[in-house]
Chains A and B, each alone.
Chain A
């Protein structure tokens, strides 16, 4: 079975400080993992994806995530937060044996304080 746990429902950081959004996954198969961002009243935008290549994945807008199989984690980080990063972030695992069923976490709301 596949599932995702986002460990924090809300994270607050000051502008210019690092961002860490935590995600743990459970998967019966080698997982594909994704991070999406959703700004208010918008659809979801793909930030980055892991599909069994390099364990450190770089995405858009300076975000990156590291796949750690031993810890079943896929945490999202950014060295320096920007005001425009304030949004909802979703960690997603897909069922790799068939590929196109996504399992979403409950989301982490990121607030950036000026």
Chain B
């Protein structure tokens, strides 16, 4: 496997279910990200992990719970979701962080298409 992989690629869940999204990067990066992509809206950054530590949480509801056990793996645990949470969830990784310098490019996985019924 190369790059950034995400499983599952598609997920349908009811509002009372609990499920998890998995992301794995094979690039030797030390920063990982979760994004939400909804139709007609800009990508929304949800969480950032640097060296396994969460450094950003952009006011994400507690029904989304991230976990980063090591620099190569990132999970997003889902519970009691709402229909408006249906979206494409993208994982990304990069080198970094940097200070006072330039931004490293992020490498994206193919995404998990989530449908909440």
Question: Interface on A for B, CB 8 Å cutoff?
Answer: 32, 34, 36, 41-46, 49, 51-52, 90, 94-102, 104-107
Q: Is the interface of B mostly helix, strand, loop or mixed?
A: loop
B4 touches A102 (CB 8 A): no
Q: Quote the shortest CB–CB distance from A109 to chain B (angstroms).
A: 11
A96 touches B41 (CB 8 A): no
Contacts of B41 in A (CB 8 A): 106
A95 touches B103 (CB 8 A): yes
Contacts of A52 in B (CB 8 A): 102
Choose from A44, A102, A105, A107 the contact partner of B103 (Cβ within 8 Å): A102
* Contact indicator per residue, chain B 40-66, by CB within 8 Å of chain A (1) or not (0): 111101001010000010000000000
A-B contacts, 16 of them at CB < 8 A, read: A34-B105, A43-B6, A46-B105, A49-B105, A94-B103, A96-B100, A97-B100, A99-B98, A99-B101, A99-B102, A99-B104, A100-B33, A100-B50, A102-B106, A106-B42, A107-B42
B101 touches A100 (CB 8 A): no
Contacts of B100 in A (CB 8 A): 96-97
Question: Interface on B for A, CB 8 Å cutoff?
Answer: 4, 6, 31, 33, 40-43, 45, 48, 50, 56, 90, 92, 94, 96-111, 113
Contacts of A104 in B (CB 8 A): 42-43
User: Could you tell me the distance between the alpha carbons of A102 and B96 in the complex, rounded to whole angstroms?
Assistant: 13
User: Could you tell me the distance between the alpha carbons of A73 and B94 in the complex, rounded to whole angstroms?
Assistant: 25
A99 touches B108 (CB 8 A): no
A99 touches B99 (CB 8 A): yes
A45 touches B104 (CB 8 A): no
Smallest Cβ-Cβ distance to B40: which chain A residue: A106
Choose from A36, A43, A106 the contact partner of B109 (Cβ within 8 Å): A43
Q: Quote the shortest CB–CB distance from A79 to chain B (angstroms).
A: 24
Smallest Cβ-Cβ distance to A94: which chain B residue: B103
Smallest Cβ-Cβ distance to B106: which chain A residue: A102
B90 touches A44 (CB 8 A): yes
User: Could you tell me the distance between the alpha carbons of A7 and B106 in the complex, rounded to whole angstroms?
Assistant: 23
A44, A51, A94: residue with the most chain B Cβ atoms closer than 10 Å = A44
User: Could you tell me the distance between the alpha carbons of A97 and B98 in the complex, rounded to whole angstroms?
Assistant: 7
